[in-house]
Structure 1
Amino acid sequence: MNVPNILTSIRIILVPFLVVVFYLPFHWSYLVSAGIFFFAAGTDWFDGYLARKLNQTTPFGEFFDPVADKIMVATALCLLIDEFRALWMTVPAMIIIGREIVISALREWMAELGKRTSVAVSMIGKAKTMAQMASITFLLLSPPPIENWIGYLGVVLLYISSVLTLWSMYVYLKAAWPDLTPFKKEEK
């Protein structure tokens, strides 16, 4: 274990704490759950930075880092869907979670073909992640009904991240399309 892997592990360990704190019947539960999520989002950036800077990339980190991100984001989005119980929250959350499932499956399949680099993380994906993390943090801070600029900013960023989510999925699928649709020559 190295520091980047410990940070990734902490992110996974924080998931149940996020859920428990979010549902606590205290007015401060929104603030603390947003803090937990914000801290986890920070470890996502920091563990990757340290792994590259210190040359401490490991198979564990390469596998669990994206898994930890997806678990944390999907959990937070499910909490927000439950809290807001509104179509305007559910649709973008479904887009984000659905895209993560599709792209994870695509990356796994492309890796089996030995072509994982053709679906490597892009700048669009990084922008999507930043908008998504900020959006979720702001929305966790803003219980319904939203009555402040932080909540409204969270909603705007949620929709921006949904658009970036679809765009990045299109980019990944376009890159993989030749491998998804090969034409086999008929043997004579």
Structure 2
Amino acid sequence: MRINLPTWLTLFRVALLPVMIVVFYLPFHGHNITAAVVFLLAAVTDWLDGFLARRLALTSAFGAFLDPVADKLMVAVTLFLLVESHPAGWSGVLMAVTAAIIVGREISVSALREWMAEIGMRATVKVAFIGKLKTVMQMVALVVLIVQHEKEAEALRLYHIGEALLVIAGVLTIWSGLYYLHAAWPTLRGDKPRLRPDEPQP
């Protein structure tokens, strides 16, 4: 199997995850800002690999599989880091609940898309604008929350800004999840016939 440039970028994004984890916990001055830079670099590769794949027609089955996996790993791992390091109290509860909603939505929508693809209806739940907006809001919120662990950043009150942005991302997550569920509901309810494996795919 020949790996093209967009797929190499996706693999690079996956490889950045353990780097971000190590940097996040290392006890040196500016470690959280460094972790945020690593996260931003991963986020940029997320946009770049898709852009190159479309612009240069460098799509592949492996790349199409790996790209959403890398995206969800990046978000889930970062949320786990933030929840684990978050202070206790109602703020910590809010963070944990929001993280659970985001991760739960990602798992649910991935399962929905897999099932719809199996019956030849994948296009019904293709990525919509609300899903893209949710992703952007998540990325901004996570960067702010990573940075806020620095004492200098805390003086700028980024802590509460990051929490608010993540809650907004959580609301968009629910909204986008319901959007995809609504799009797939006629098929889930049985209004549209399933395609057999030997039938042409739409």
State the TM bucket, normalised to the shorter chain: over 0.9
* Aligned pair partner of 2:124 in 90, 115, 118: 118
Q: Which residue of 2 aligns with 1:58?
A: 60
Query: 5+ unaligned residues in a row in structure 2: which ranges?
Result: 192-202
The alpha carbon displacement at 1:143 in A equals 1.2
Q: Which residue of 1 aligns with 2:96?
A: 90
Identity of matched residues, %: 49
User: Is the CA contact (8 Å cut-off) linking 2:6 and 2:49 kept in structure 1?
Assistant: yes
1:127 aligned to 2:133?
yes
1:153 aligned to 2:155?
no
The one-letter code sitting in structure 1 at the alignment partner of 2:172 is: L
- Point out the more displaced range, 168-177 or 154-163: 154-163
Q: Which residue of 2 aligns with 1:176?
A: 184
Q: Which residue of 1 aligns with 2:4?
A: 2
User: Is the CA contact (8 Å cut-off) linking 1:125 and 1:168 kept in structure 2?
Assistant: yes
- CA RMSD, aligned part only? 1.7
Inter-partner Cα distance in structure 2 for 1:126 and 1:173: 16
- After TM superposition, where is structure 1 displaced by more than 6 Å over at least 4 residues in a row? none
Inter-partner Cα distance in structure 1 for 2:5 and 2:141: 27
Please report the TM-score for the alignment, with normalisation by the length of structure 1. Answer: 0.93
Query: 5+ unaligned residues in a row in structure 1: which ranges?
Result: 184-188
The alpha carbon displacement at 1:153 in A equals 2.6
Deviation per residue, 1:87-107 (Å, 9 max, x gap): 121111111000000000000
* Aligned pair partner of 1:69 in 61, 71, 74: 71
The alpha carbon displacement at 1:152 in A equals 2.8
SS of 1:56's equivalent in the other structure is coil
Question: Aligned pairs, how many?
Answer: 184
SS of 1:57's equivalent in the other structure is coil
Inter-partner Cα distance in structure 2 for 1:31 and 1:65: 25
User: Is the CA contact (8 Å cut-off) linking 1:142 and 1:150 kept in structure 2?
Assistant: yes
